[in-house]
Amino acid sequence: MADTSGSSRPLKRVSEGVDLTRSLLAHAEALAEETSAAAVFVYTDALRDVAWTPPAQLRGRVIYATRNEEERVKLIDEQKQAIKIPSVALTRMGQVKVAVFLALSQGLVEGGDRVVCLAGARETGSLDTVLVMEIGREFDVFGRSGDSLSSSSEGEVVSDVSPEVLARVVEIAADLGSEGREGKAVGALFVVGDSERVVPLTRQRILNPFHGYPEDKRNVLDVQLEETIKELATVDGAFVIRGDGVVLSSGTYLKTTSVPEESLPRGLGARHQAAAAITFVTHCFAVTVSQSTGTVTVFRKGRIVTEIEKPTKAREAGPRS
């Protein structure tokens, strides 16, 4: 008789994953009602084995987070809210943070909103984490829904950055943080938006590799530019990117150093200090990749908006470069 004992374990794990996913979805539905949540975030990679139809009371409040652009388009075609998150390994909190950050950048939620977030493992295709959170005051830098990257509720100019451009830069940064370049850890700094104010506060460390090229050939939204950006990330200095995605320069030194000391935690290196400083004196965003930990940090108005950590079993102590 053939030994079938080994084949039952994967089936059992799938069954357990489906049961856990269904249980968490039910709990999330109840939590959303009990807490008057403005949105329910669902990581679609962890819904592989369960077909879920949100109850009527949640329709319009569910935001699907997917790593697949085709799936995002399909969901939007079905009149659902969907965002694309970086196609890299993320911790459960990383899944939540990047989804909330990108939803904020697109005006789908606001600072102060209470949200329910469901995350899980892409490998198992099942949900295993539910989190209820109130979007903190640090996210007030996005302004209000519907026009969150262009003006605040008081009409103040906040940023000229396209949400798609910001999402793309975060994705490239997360990829660098997760994989490095040719097996080596890479640190990087991207300054996005308000280029009219940013450029006068810079000087080139090297000849600008992007100078003289047509704008459509040096836009971060062009996937063909990704490898060039990752290669140039190994060179010291920042990328300066216009709000519409056009890369103006790389290997760029930021001359400003003004930032309130109380706005940053201790232990941040020169790259993070420069990111905080340039966002404090202009209306840009800055995205850093820590060479020592792979953590991606987003800065706005001299403050950290969010941090997306690379999944690791252990981290060495010490300042982030």
Which residues contact residue 143 at a Cβ distance below 8 angstroms, ignoring those fewer than 6 apart? 149, 150, 151, 152, 153, 158
Q: Identify the CATH class of 9-142.
A: alpha beta
Point out which residues pair with 64 in neighbouring strands: 42, 82
> Considering Cα of 179, then 41, then 121, then 320, what sign does the dihedral take?
positive
Per-residue pLDDT tens over the stretch 163-204:
889 889 998 998 898 888 877 888 999 999 999 999 999 999
- Three-class DSSP category at 66: strand
Which option is the CATH number for 163-308: 1.10.1040.10, 3.40.309.10, 3.40.1700.10, 3.30.565.10?
A: 3.40.1700.10
Nearest to 203 by CA among 247, 165, 241, 256: 256
pLDDT for res 149: 54
Q: Where are the domains of the chain?
A: 9-142, 163-308
User: ∠ CA(257), CA(262), CA(268), 5° rounding?
Assistant: 60
Residue-wise DSSP of 242-283: -TTSBEEEEEEEE------GGGS-TTB-HHHHHHHHHHHHSS
pTM of the model: 0.79
The whole-number pLDDT of residue 1 equals: 38
Q: Give every residue of the chain whose pLDDT is below 70, as ranges.
A: 1-15, 137-159, 257-264, 267, 312-321
